[in-house]
Amino acid sequence: MDCIYHAFRVRPEKLEKAILGAEAMGFGGLNLTVPLKEKALKLDFIKPDPLAKRIGAVNTIVFGKDGEIQGYNTDGLGARQALLDASVEIMGSRMVIAGAGGAARAVAFQLAADGADITVINRTEERAVELAKEISAAALPGKIRGTGLSGLKDLLRDADVLINTTTLGMYPNTDTAIATAEELHSGLTIFDIVYNPLETRLLREAKAAGAKTISGVLMLVYQGAEAFRLWTGVEPSVELMKKTVLEALQV
């Protein structure tokens, strides 16, 4: 298959021009990351699928042969598969999701659909509460509520899984974390969707507490594999993708 995948830095105010320019140059599709996912959904020429529309964010764009520009969100599927790979039982698990942005929305919608018991925490409590209300209105099998960061320590005592969807710990601000080892415990699974660095401070704190850890590389690979299927119709080699990502991160 004669294809290349290339990264471009695009300012939010240039997103519309960037997408239309990529289409004009014959690109097959695009991935979008923070802070472009929610903004893309507001562009009237993008036709989101029902899941992306419900999530309120697009991370994958497909340029159709008929001229239609389609929007999808593969983040939730990527997170789900990363958890399953770590032998996490999603149904009924008490999960704390840190953040209320595009990635948090995708992950929360998917895990609520899979029956998890979710608490969304966010620095701006109103955003967490609003996200929880939206997901509750979708009448999914799981339970969900929203609150501010001040309740994190108490929530973690009874939680099974903590998922960080914020940019805390992301390069170059690698010395930050949503929680410390003293606030974690060995019964937790800590999933940090940040993948640069591969081992974030949160994951180091989790190991110090004896907790199970999941790297953001897995979500990156699995959401990317789904995007590849959408672009090409071909089933990718997930193991090859993992190897390539780890090499790119110089692990």
pLDDT in tens, 166-225: 999 999 999 999 999 999 999 999 999 999 999 999 999 999 999 999 999 999 999 999
In DSSP terms, which residues pair with 60 in a beta bridge?
Answer: 31, 72
With cut-offs at 50, 70 and 90, classify the pLDDT of residue 251.
Answer: low
84 plus 189 within the same structural domain? yes
User: Which residue, 73, 97, 123, sits at the end of a domain?
Assistant: 73
30 plus 142 within the same structural domain? no
The whole-angstrom separation of Cα 140 and Cα 34 is 26
Which residues carry out catalysis?
A: 37
Q: Identity (one letter) of the amino acid at 216?
A: G
CATH number at residue 66: 3.40.50.10860
CATH number at residue 120: 3.40.50.720
Provide the domain count of the chain: 2
Q: What are phi and psi of 197, to 5 degrees?
A: -80, 160
| Strand spans (E) along 49-129 | 60-63, 69-72, 94-98, 117-122
35 plus 85 within the same structural domain? no
The whole-angstrom separation of Cα 216 and Cα 206 is 14
Give residue 17's domain range: 12-73
- Average pLDDT score over residue span 145-158: 95
- Average pLDDT score over residue span 131-139: 95
Q: Is residue 239 part of a domain?
A: no
Judge whether 62 and 28 are in contact, CB under 8 Å: yes
56 plus 173 within the same structural domain? no
pLDDT at 196 (0 to 100): 92
3-state class (DSSP) for residue 175:
coil
Judge whether 217 and 198 are in contact, CB under 8 Å: yes
Task: Using a pLDDT cut of 70, give the percent of the chain over it.
Answer: 100
64 plus 155 within the same structural domain? no
pLDDT of residue 250 exceeding 90, the answer is no
210 plus 120 within the same structural domain? yes
Q: Is residue 2 part of a domain?
A: no
Query: What's the pTM value of the predicted model, to 2 decimals?
Result: 0.88
- Average pLDDT score over residue span 56-67: 93
**Two tokens, residue 216:** 């953001």
pLDDT at 102 (0 to 100): 83
The whole-angstrom separation of Cα 58 and Cα 47 is 10
Q: Is residue 158 part of a domain?
A: yes
Contacts 24+ apart (CB under 8 A), 210-217: 210/185, 210/186, 211/184, 211/185, 211/186, 211/187, 212/86, 212/188, 213/189, 214/82, 214/83, 214/85, 214/86, 214/189, 214/190, 216/191, 216/192, 217/242, 217/245, 217/246, 217/249
29 plus 148 within the same structural domain? no
3-state class (DSSP) for residue 103:
helix
57 plus 88 within the same structural domain? no
Judge whether 130 and 75 are in contact, CB under 8 Å: no
92 plus 161 within the same structural domain? yes
Handedness of CA 53, 221, 123, 185 (dihedral sign): positive
Q: Which residues, including other chains, have CB under 8 Å from residue 38's CB and lie 6 or more apart? A: 56, 57, 101, 102
pLDDT of residue 49 exceeding 70, the answer is yes
Q: pLDDT digits over 88-129, tens only?
A: 999 999 999 999 988 899 999 999 999 999 999 999 999 999
132 plus 63 within the same structural domain? no
3-state class (DSSP) for residue 183:
helix
Q: Which residues, including other chains, have CB under 8 Å from residue 159's CB and lie 6 or more apart? A: 94, 95, 96, 119, 188
Q: Is residue 198 part of a domain?
A: yes
To the nearest whole number, what is the mean pLDDT of the chain? Answer: 95
Task: Using a pLDDT cut of 90, give the percent of the chain over it.
Answer: 90
